[in-house]
Chains A and B, each alone.
Chain A
Amino acid sequence: QVQLVESGGGVVQPGRSLRLSCAASGFTFSSYGMHWVRQAPGKGLEWVAVISYDGSNKYYADSVKGRFTISRDNSKNTLYLQMNSLRAEDTAVYYCAKDLWELLLENAFDIWGQGTMVTVSS
Chain B
Amino acid sequence: SSELTQDPAVSVALGQTVRITCQGDSLRSYYASWYQQKPGQAPVLVIYGKNNRPSGIPDRFSGSSSGNTASLTITGAQAEDEADYYCNSRDSSANVVFGGGTKLTVL
User: A35 at the A/B interface (Cβ < 8 Å)?
Assistant: yes
Contact in complex: B86, A109 (CB < 8 Å)? no
Contact in complex: B45, A45 (CB < 8 Å)? no
User: A47 at the A/B interface (Cβ < 8 Å)?
Assistant: yes
Give Cα A35 to B48, complex, Å.
16
Task: For the complex, count residues of A whose C-beta is within 8 A of B.
Answer: 23
Give Cα A109 to B45, complex, Å.
7
Beta-carbon contacts of A5-37 to B below 8 Å, as 1s and 0s? Answer: 000000000000000000000000000010101
Instruction: Give the contacts of B64-107 with A (CB-CB under 8 A).
Output: 84, 86, 88-90, 93-101
User: B61 at the A/B interface (Cβ < 8 Å)?
Assistant: no
B15 contact set on A, CB distance < 8 A: none
A114 contact set on B, CB distance < 8 A: 42
B32 contact set on A, CB distance < 8 A: 107
Main secondary structure of the interface of A (DSSP, over half): strand
With both beta carbons as reference points, the residue of chain A lying nearest to B26 in the complex is identified as: A107
Contact in complex: B43, A112 (CB < 8 Å)? yes
Instruction: Give the contacts of A20-68 with B (CB-CB under 8 A).
Output: 33, 35, 37, 44-47, 50, 57, 59, 61
Contact in complex: A107, B33 (CB < 8 Å)? yes
Which 3 residue pairs spanning A and B have beta carbons closest together?
Answer: A108-B48, A105-B94, A112-B42
Chain B interfacial positions (CB closer than 8 Å to A): 30-33, 35, 37, 42-45, 48-49, 54, 84, 86, 88-90, 93-101
Chain A interfacial positions (CB closer than 8 Å to B): 33, 35, 37, 44-47, 50, 57, 59, 61, 95, 100, 105-110, 112-115
